[in-house]
Structure 1
Amino acid sequence: MLLIVLLSGCEKNNADISNNTDVDVTDDQEYNLLITNNSPLFLKSVVVTVDEGNDVQINSLIDSNIKLGGVAKFPIDNGKHLFKVTLNPKDNYSVSKEFKEEFKAGEIVEYQILIEQNEVSIQKIKAIK
C-alpha cells in the first residue's frame, strides 16, 4: 500500500515538472544585439540607429540607466546592417561609433563599452550562437 502512495506521488511531481517546461522564461531570444557597459560611466541612455538605406532610419532608445556591468539589449532584423551606437553618459560627453554587421538567425552579437587611454571605446566582443 505504501508503495502505491509513493509511486502516485512521484507521477504527480513529474507531471508538474513537465508542465513548467512549456513556459519559456528567457527574454533574450528576441534581442540579438547586446551592449555591455564595462566602464565606470553611468549611462543615461544607449541609442542604436540602424540605416536601412534610402534615407530610412530606425531608432532604438533605452531610457533606463545602465551601470557598470549593465547590458543594453536591442532587436535588429536579420541581414547586413550599417548602424551607429551612441552612448549618453551622465555628466559627460556623448560618444558614437558606426558599425557594419551581418545579423543571422539564432545569433547574438555582443559589444562592450570600455575606457582605453582616457577615451571611451565600443568594441565587438563576439557573436553567440
Structure 2
Amino acid sequence: MDKQVINHPDMPAPYGAYSTAIRAGDFIFVSGQAGIIPKSGAKAGEDFESQARQAFENLKTCLECSGSSMNDVVKVITWLGDAEERAALNDLFGEYFPIDPPARSTPIVDLPMGLLLSIEATAIARD
C-alpha cells in the first residue's frame, strides 16, 4: 500500500513534524484539527462554539482537499478540553454528521494554547 502526503493551500498547515493529511490505500487520515483560522494561525475565538465550529470546518476542508468528505468519515477522535462542553460538542457533531455518524471517541485532555477542541478523522478516499 502506498502512502501519499496530501498538501493543498486551503488546508491548515501543520504546527510541527507531522502531515495534515495522509492517503493510504482507500483511506484518508486527517491529523487533529483545532479551532484555528488557517490563514492567520489565530484562534477562532475564546469560546467553545467558535473554536469547535472552526475545527469542524478545518476538518471538512482537509477532507475535501484530500478527495473525501464528511459523509465518508468512519472514525473520529474529538479531543475535548472541558468535559462540560460535551453537550455542545454533541450538537455540532449532529450538525456536521447528520446521517449515519461515524464512530467516535472523546478523551478529555489538556490542549495547548488555550484550545478547547481538536478533531482527528479517518475517512474513505473517493477519488
Q: Say yes or no: TM over 0.5.
A: no
Q: TM-score under structure 2 normalisation? A: 0.26
Q: TM-score, normalised by structure 1?
A: 0.26
**Per residue, is there more helix in 1 or in 2?**
2
Structure with the greater alpha carbon radius of gyration = 1
Larger RCO, structures 1/2 (Cα 8 Å, 6+ apart): 2
